[in-house]
Amino acid sequence: MQPGLLVSIHIAVGPEEPMQIVQHTRAVAGKGLEGDRYFYGIGTFSGNGGPDREITLIELEAIEAFERDYGVQLDAADARRNLVTRGVALNHLVDRKFKVGQATLQGIRLCEPCNHLTRVIGRQTIPGLIHRGGLRAQILTDGLIQVGDPVEVL
């Protein structure tokens, strides 16, 4: 299987704050991405606990399909996922280990769209992103992640 590609990285400094694009960040096992709200335990759902709050990913192809199928522009940052990839089927990574840059991740579950996302960005996304809203993952090993890194299934 050919590796996918990390297209962009997004973090938010606080709950419901706009996602900021960064060129690189450090993934830290048990915490999340340095600089992101969930790393500091202040994300909207931080109180729910569990490793599936550490990092989220979405396929650029899913964002493009949403725009095409629903005629609504959705910027990658609007999806409120940390990593945007191209060329990797994220749904197939549930219960699988994979690498992004120097970090090793474990797919936990799909990151389905929710009413909170709709409220924060002010647009309905639920029907268009069902089963293509991304992946929640756990960070197994720390490492630098930067735009352009390969996404490789282990």
Q: How many domains does the chain have?
A: 1
Ranges of beta strands (E only) in the chain are: 4-11, 20-22, 24-28, 32-33, 55-59, 83-86, 97-100, 103-110, 135-141, 143-146, 150-153
pLDDT at 65: 86
Cβ-contact 87, 114 below 8 angstroms: no
Give the chain's residues under pLDDT 70.
Answer: 1, 43-49, 52, 114-131
Q: What pLDDT score was predicted for residue 55?
A: 94
Token code pair at residue 98: 């994979």
CATH number for 70: 2.40.33.20
pLDDT at 45: 54
**Range of the structural domain that residue 86 is part of:** 4-153
Which pLDDT score is estimated for 83? Answer: 97
Whether the Cβ atoms of residue 80 and residue 21 lie closer than 8 Å to each other: no
